[in-house]
Amino acid sequence: MDFRLTSDQEALVAAVDKLAQRFELKPTEFHGLALAGTELERELEDGSYFDIAAVPELGPLAAAMAVERLARLPYTVECALSMLVRPQLAGDLPRPFAVVEHGRPGRFVAGAKTLLLVDGERVSVAHPAAADVEAVDSLYAYPMGRVKGALASTALSAAEAAAIRTWLRIALAAEMSGLLQAAIASAVDHITQRKQFGRPLGTFQALRHRMAECAVLAGGVRWLALKAAGTGTDGDAALAAMHAQESATRIVYDTHQMLAAMGMTLEHPLHLWTYRAKALLSEQGGRGGQASAVAQHCFAAD
């Protein structure tokens, strides 16, 4: 165990941070549900950031750090699947990636060049034409889309499918980690500024304790996401996704409660994190799915 960053990891984190800083603020005129980071995506592409995991000095752990940092932005870009799942597949498959679980609408599906079709334990790969997919309106803060009909796809072997499901869980946990941190920071900022009864809301212990508990949960999500990216094991991935979804249910609720009516407006950016977190809550089978994976990989010997 040694949690210091290597010099390569430090350099990568600094570079992603520098890039991210330019996209830190939601445009004041934007009042939508999903803020697509088209320019950010171009910059990530130009800088070859989507291939970080394949660089031996960096690997998936550094990629997870990048995913987490980018998820803290109000803008959304398909990066978790490209950075963490794509490297697990043979061939240089085109991005953006998207996942379709049980035929349901999914994040980034309408613009995806590679689709992972997940149906229980089976995973197959498809490359949709533009006419095969369509955008759908949704409450989620991701651009959502769906597949219009049957698609030609290639089934992965059972072993490949298992590996992909593991890395989908790691990608989910890394992205959730960033979303939860950003939501908490947004709520903390609000209760620091907002005064009632003559003092900032953040001086009231009832609120301080709730936010502190949220911070502890989010910190735990971060540790488990990074560990899973570092080890790549099925059990660590299942635990990370479990803790991410479990913690998110609480943190999404509590951060909105801190912002009260302000958090309901599209002017305030909170929903750009919390309504992305909500989209992640159902993925990979939700908490029930993660629990089954934990049982399979962590409780098998009991």
Partner 1 sequence: MDFNWDDAQRGFRAQVREFLAANLPRDWEALAHGPGSESQSAFSKQFCARLAAAGLLVPHWPARWGGRDADPWTAFILAEEMWEAGEPRGGQYMNVNWIGPTLMRHGNAQQQERYIPPMARGETIWCQGFSEPEAGSDLASLRTRAEKHGDVYRINGQKIWTSYAGHADTCFLLARTSAGKGGISIFLLPMTTPGIIVRQIPSIIGEGDIHEVFFDNVEVPASALLGEEGQAWDIARTALSLERVGIPRFAMAARMLHRAVGMLKRAGRFGQGAIEQAAKARAACEAARFYSYGIVDQRRHGIATGAEASAARYATVMAERQVAEFVVEQVPEALAGGDAMLQAHHQRAIVAGIASGAAEIQLNLIATELLKLPREPR
Q: Which of residues 167-186 bind partner 1 (CB under 8 A)?
A: 184
Q: Which of residues 200-239 bind partner 1 (CB under 8 A)?
A: 200, 202-205, 208-209, 211-213, 215-217, 219-221, 223-224, 226-227, 230-231, 238-239
Question: If binding is defined by CB under 8 A, does position 199 make contact with partner 1?
Answer: yes
**3-class DSSP state for residue 204?**
coil
Q: Are 295 and 242 in contact (CB under 8 A)?
A: no
Find the shortest distance in angstroms from Cβ 298 to partner 1: 6
Find the shortest distance in angstroms from Cβ 244 to partner 1: 9
According to DSSP, residue 113 is labeled S
**3-class DSSP state for residue 159?**
helix
| Residue whose CB is less far from partner 1, 38 or 292 | 292
Question: If binding is defined by CB under 8 A, does position 35 make contact with partner 1?
Answer: no
Tell me which residue of 95, 219, 116 sits closest to 161, measured CA to CA. Answer: 116
Please count the CA atoms within 13 angstroms of the CA of 42 that sit on its side-chain side. 3
Helices 158-193, 59-71: axis angle to 10 degrees equals: 40
Q: Are 60 and 87 in contact (CB under 8 A)?
A: yes
Question: If binding is defined by CB under 8 A, does position 52 make contact with partner 1?
Answer: no
Q: Which residue carries 């889309």 as its tokens?
A: 145
| Residue whose CB is less far from partner 1, 40 or 183 | 183
Tokens of 257: 């409660």
Q: Which of residues 260-289 bind partner 1 (CB under 8 A)?
A: 287-288
Q: What residues make contact with partner 1 under the rule CB under 8 A?
A: 1-6, 9, 61, 184, 188, 191-192, 199-200, 202-205, 208-209, 211-213, 215-217, 219-221, 223-224, 226-227, 230-231, 238-240, 242-243, 246, 287-288, 290-292, 294-295, 298-299, 302
